[in-house]
């Protein structure tokens, strides 16, 4: 159920872009968490939130009702040690279980399916530790960002290693402080690294590097809208051209009492995650 806090009562914010002005109006908040750090919204509108304090994953419906929670600290199936990122599709949910050095796979109802790890592999080229972020393409290819070697690894649908992206031998496109990445509809990889937005194709070829005016901690993609955020503000990209750069963007500061963990634009709403709740804003054209 939506709840209203007095310090956010019907605030109106204006965001600026090159083409037109829009308004964002606070609508309410859903969910109660301890230290939420990442969330994902699947095409049906169900929300999945990871909490690194409780090591739990929570599923909410479109009205904010909690449908299911799983997890708790541990290394068995459906338990976690720092679930650093969550990625949901229409059918499945993928969790980067950072300190367990694995990716866990669930169905859309958070029933455990399987896990993927390479810690027992003898080849260091394909071995990953401390995954920070995960995404899966429409073809079933799995991409994960690992903190240990500062690179993205790509595996096919059978779990076979395909390539490494942004590793130490990538020259000026080598990663130094990567946080998160997304896969766009045309299978471009967009990654934030300190104050840089770096774009690769799905095969690991570098396309462009763009300097940002702030240092984002997260990036998300839904319905062609890309969000980057630091702890205070959100940059919303409605269009990004790999040659010319930003074509249409907005900067939004919601002035929340808590720092921002993650943000997603879904349909005509902006969802802003803090440690303890998910704030919902209506986007008015």
- Helix, coil or strand: residue 164: strand
What is the rounded distance in angstroms from the CA atom of residue 124 to the CA atom of residue 146?
13
Structure confidence at residue 176 (pLDDT): 95
CB atoms within 10 A of CB 217: 17
How far is the C-alpha of 226 from the C-alpha of 99, rounded, in Å? 28
pLDDT in 10s for each residue of the chain, 285 residues: 333 333 332 222 333 333 345 688 999 999 999 999 999 999 999 999 999 999 999 999 988 999 999 999 999 999 999 999 999 999 999 999 999 999 999 999 999 999 999 999 888 889 999 999 999 999 999 999 999 999 999 999 999 999 999 998 888 999 999 999 999 888 899 999 999 999 999 999 999 998 998 999 999 998 778 999 999 999 998 766 655 556 677 889 999 999 999 999 998 899 999 999 999 999 987
Within 13 Å, how many C-alpha atoms sit on residue 108's CB side? 11
Instruction: Write out the two tokens for 227.
Output: 């969000």
* CATH class, 31-117 region: mainly beta
What's the pLDDT at 124?
86
Counted residue by residue, the chain has a size of 285
SS3 100: helix
Residues with Cβ < 8 Å from 223, sequence gap 6 or more? 265, 266, 267
The helix (run of H) or strand (run of E) holding residue 229 is: strand 225-229
At residue 81, the pLDDT reads 98
Q: Please report the sign of the dihedral spanned by the C-alpha atoms of residue 162, residue 164, residue 169, residue 170.
A: positive
- Predicted local distance difference test score (pLDDT) of residue 1: 39
pLDDT value for 23: 86
């Amino acid at each position: 159920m939506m709840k209203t806090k007095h310090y956010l009562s019907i605030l109106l914010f204006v965001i600026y872009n090159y083409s037109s002005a829009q308004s964002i109006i606070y609508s309410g908040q859903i969910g109660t968490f301890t230290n939420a750090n990442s969330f994902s919204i699947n095409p049906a509108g169900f929300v999945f939130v990871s909490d690194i304090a409780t090591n739990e994953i929570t599923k909410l419906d479109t009205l904010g009702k909690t449908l299911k929670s799983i997890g708790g600290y541990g290394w068995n199936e459906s338990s976690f040690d720092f679930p650093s990122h969550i990625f949901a599709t229409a059918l499945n949910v993928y969790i980067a279980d950072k300190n367990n050095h694995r990716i866990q796979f669930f169905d859309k109802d958070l029933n455990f399916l399987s896990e993927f790890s390479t810690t027992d592999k003898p080849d260091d080229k394909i071995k990953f530790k401390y995954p920070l972020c995960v995404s899966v393409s429409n073809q079933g290819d799995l991409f994960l960002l690992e903190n240990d070697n500062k690179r993205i690894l790509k595996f096919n649908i059978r779990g076979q290693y395909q390539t490494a992206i942004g590793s130490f031998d990538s020259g000026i496109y080598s990663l130094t402080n990567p946080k998160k990445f997304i896969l766009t509809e045309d299978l471009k990889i967009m990654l934030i690294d300190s104050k840089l937005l770096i774009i690769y194709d799905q095969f690991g070829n570098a396309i462009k590097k763009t300097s940002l005016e702030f240092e984002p901690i997260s990036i998300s993609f839904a319905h062609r809208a890309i969000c980057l955020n630091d702890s205070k503000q959100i940059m919303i990209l409605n269009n990004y051209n790999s040659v010319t750069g930003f074509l249409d963007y907005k900067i939004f500061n919601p002035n929340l009492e808590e720092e921002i963990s993650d943000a997603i634009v879904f349909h005509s709403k902006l969802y802003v995650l803090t440690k303890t709740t998910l704030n919902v804003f209506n986007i008015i054209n």
